[in-house]
A and B are shown apart, each in its own frame.
Chain A
Amino acid sequence: MKFFRTHILVSKDSKSMFAGAETVEKLLVEEIKKQGLGEEIKVISTGSIGFEGTGVTIAVYPDGIVYSPVTVSDIPEIVSEHLLKGRVVKRIAFPIKTSKMPSGVTFPEKVIGIQKRIVLKNVGFINPENIEEYIAQDGYSALAKSLCDMKPSDVISLITASELRGRGGAGYPTGLKWAAAAEVKGDCKYIICNADEGEPGTFKDREIMEGDPHTLLEGMAIAGYAVGASVGYIYIRGEYAISINRLNKAIEDARSYGLLGKNILGSGFDFEIEIKKGAGAYVCGEESALIESIEGSRGEPRKKPPYPVVSGLWAKPTVVNNVETLANVPRILENGAEWYKSLGTEGSRGTKLFSLMGDIKWKGVIEIPFGTPLSKIVMNIAGGLKNNAKLKAVILGGVSGYLIKPEELDIPVDFNSLARIEAGPGSGSIIVLDDSRDIVDIVKNIAEFFKHESCGKCTPCRIGTDQICEIIDRFFYDEGSEDDLNKLMRLSETMFQTSFCALGQTAPNILQQSLKKFRGDWERHFFKSE
């Protein structure tokens, strides 16, 4: 077996690719060859290393050094100084935690230290396009365990016992959903992975699919075994080109290794996965509209009940789960329900991924145990606000989510605590706004998004989103009035109560909360007769 003394991981997630990861990797390989180190050092592509929005990141093992951002002109120095002579290029280096590297407390280390990487344990560590590296990290052993040692009902009781809740936003217990689908008679059932991550400001599922696609496939196969489905669909945003390529490669590899397809591991269980690309409609993230879209119809939500677990894709029982939910499944199978319950808080077990963005120092995807206070996420993990500005608000859970005031920042992030202030983790996005932002601007932007994305099936949503935009426009030109605010309040209440699906019901969320919590911002745009 070929032995390489040093492994260099190059982050090749979509952000790094934009920053030129491909070129950096190519030049790195060339430079290593040129300096005669080609036989000793291996360069490997990986997912996000956890430093995002800064540029290309590379990690050097076993030394445990991360370089970020790496530009083309840094490469000769890194190779000749660090790789040849063992002298770390301190200018752009961050030490990371490995067992051999006790180091001073640097900022990125704190970032990685606070996090608990369970779902993301392979992201930024293995090559997502190499199935053997995934298997080396105990990949597919959870599937093997369930196929060989457990009955489908055992798998469901384990997931139920772990109290795993859906990570798409609604937080429905996954075990219950699976049990409901398993109960329905019939041998044609489907698993759908909802990877249509369309909520503005959310990109946590992308991190999983780009960095560790096999985890998702394994989770889907286990779900298929549990409920008795033999076909799975991944409904993915068409814009996620890198994710689609890596998932395709992963499916192909899993098939050729016999981990997907007929008679997996000699157990008699068959499972196939197909990818379906979305065409950019926000509403197709709603499960029944998503199903319509897979069937080839226009993406519009269906009447519920019947719920998809009873009558979903082609009127067959269908389980629709979020990417992150399914990625949790192999970890629970590996380590047991008790282990999983030890993470997080009552009612919200395990960890949660969040995509951080806005006016903060460190952006990217983090994984934290449920119950971590929001203030810790914003002030410690995200490094506080840019230019030490004052915090104005946090948009939690995407633009259909919740508006959090600075006074509410100490709230622990879990389902129960957030419910107390009528909020929730939503889609898993945190957008931080500093006090230079005008809430009316933000709300206008969000309202226009929903006006564009309303599918038009039901009147409250189709007309409501349009009306909201019109009224907000008045404030935009400083012609608002008290009466308009009351109208907005009534309108959003009507939409919330009468819209057909979650799109219309949640579209006025941020608007409504801004009216309650940031009334001053609105009043500043009242018409003043001078």
Chain B
Amino acid sequence: MEKIKSLEDLKNLRDKAKETLRTRSGDVKVTIFASMGTVGIAAGAREVLKMIISELEKRNFSDVEIIEGGSLGLDVEEPVLTIERAGTKITYGKVTPEMAKQIVIQHVINGQPIGEYVIARSKK
């Protein structure tokens, strides 16, 4: 380990280290609710979730938390994904891993919901 030689060094290290604690501190911009009921998993929710994680990692975006939940009662639409950003919740249905990738890039990271996939919207 390189020694910390100045206040600057310490601050840089702190900011870097803060990223890894985001998952615990709840201090994030975006929350992804993944519906992981039995139906969801059968319809491919695990693959969707894996794609989301690998995409977030690839893009180095950590201002996000992922919370798993049970079924929302929308079994026909599974896998269902809800993104909460700036107080608005947007739900996507019949999500495929490919769609999940686009959702991460456009909506989670850049804040542009993808209209054609949306099945519900709600304000907080």
Q: Which residues of A contact B (CB under 8 A)?
A: 1-7, 9, 39-40, 61-64, 82-87, 98-100, 125-126, 132-133, 135-141, 144, 148, 256-259, 265-266
Residue of A39, A61, A99, A258 near B23 (CB, 8 A) is A61
B49 touching A40, Cβ below 8 Å: yes
Which residues of B does A touch, CB under 8 Å?
Answer: 1, 3-7, 9-11, 13-14, 17-21, 23-24, 26-28, 31, 34-38, 41, 49-50, 53, 56-57, 60, 62, 65-70
Report whether B4 and A257 are in contact in the complex, using a CB–CB cutoff of 8 Å.
Answer: yes
Residues of A within 8 A of B23 (CB): 4-7, 61-62
Q: Are B41 and A1 in contact (CB under 8 A)?
A: no
Residue contact A257 to B1, C-beta cutoff 8 Å: yes
Given contacts A3-B53, A100-B65, A136-B14, 7 further A-B contacts (CB under 8 A): A5-B49, A5-B66, A62-B65, A100-B31, A132-B20, A257-B1, A265-B4
Q: List 13 A-B contacts (CB under 8 A).
A: A1-B62, A3-B57, A5-B23, A5-B66, A61-B23, A61-B26, A62-B26, A62-B67, A86-B37, A87-B70, A98-B26, A137-B21, A138-B14
Known: A62-B67, A137-B21, A256-B1. A144 touches B57 (CB 8 A): no
Contact B17 A144 (CB under 8 A): no
- A141 surroundings in chain B (CB, below 8 A): 10-11, 14
Contact between B26 and A85, CB atoms less than 8 A apart: no
Name the distance in Å between B85's Cβ and chain A's nearest Cβ. Answer: 14
Which chain B residue shows the least CB distance to A99? B26
Task: Give Cα A132 to B9, complex, Å.
Answer: 13
Can you name the residue of chain A whose Cβ is closest to the Cβ of B6?
Answer: A266
Residues of A within 8 A of B11 (CB): 141
* Inter-chain contact B68/A85, CB cutoff 8 Å: yes
Q: CB distance A61 to B24 under 8 Å?
A: yes
Contact between A148 and B7, CB atoms less than 8 A apart: yes
Given A1-B20, A86-B69, A87-B70, do A135 and B14 touch, yes or no (CB 8 Å)? yes
Known: A85-B41, A133-B17. A6 touches B66 (CB 8 A): yes
What residues on B are CB-neighbors of A139 within 8 Å? 14
Given A2-B57, A3-B62, A62-B26, is A133 in contact with B20 using a C-beta cutoff of 8 Å? yes
Smallest Cβ-Cβ distance to B18: which chain A residue: A136
Contact between B53 and A40 (Cβ–Cβ < 8 Å)?
yes
The answer to whether A85 and B53 touch (CB under 8 A), given A1-B60, A99-B26, is no
CA distance A141 to B27 in the complex (A): 20
Q: Which of A40, A82, A141 has the most CB of B within 10 A?
A: A40
Could you say which of B4, B27, B28 contacts A259, with CB atoms under 8 Å apart?
A: B4
A133 touches B6 (CB 8 A): no
Asked whether A86 and B3 contact (CB < 8 A) given A133-B20, A137-B21, the answer is no
- When distances are taken between beta carbons in the complex, the residues of chain B under 8 Å from A86 are 34-37, 67-70
Interface pair B19/A1, CB less than 8 Å apart: yes
The answer to whether B26 touches A136 (Cβ under 8 A) is no
Given known contacts A62-B65, A86-B67, is B7 in contact with A1 (CB within 8 Å)? no
Which chain B residues lie closer than 8 Å to A98 at the CB level? 26
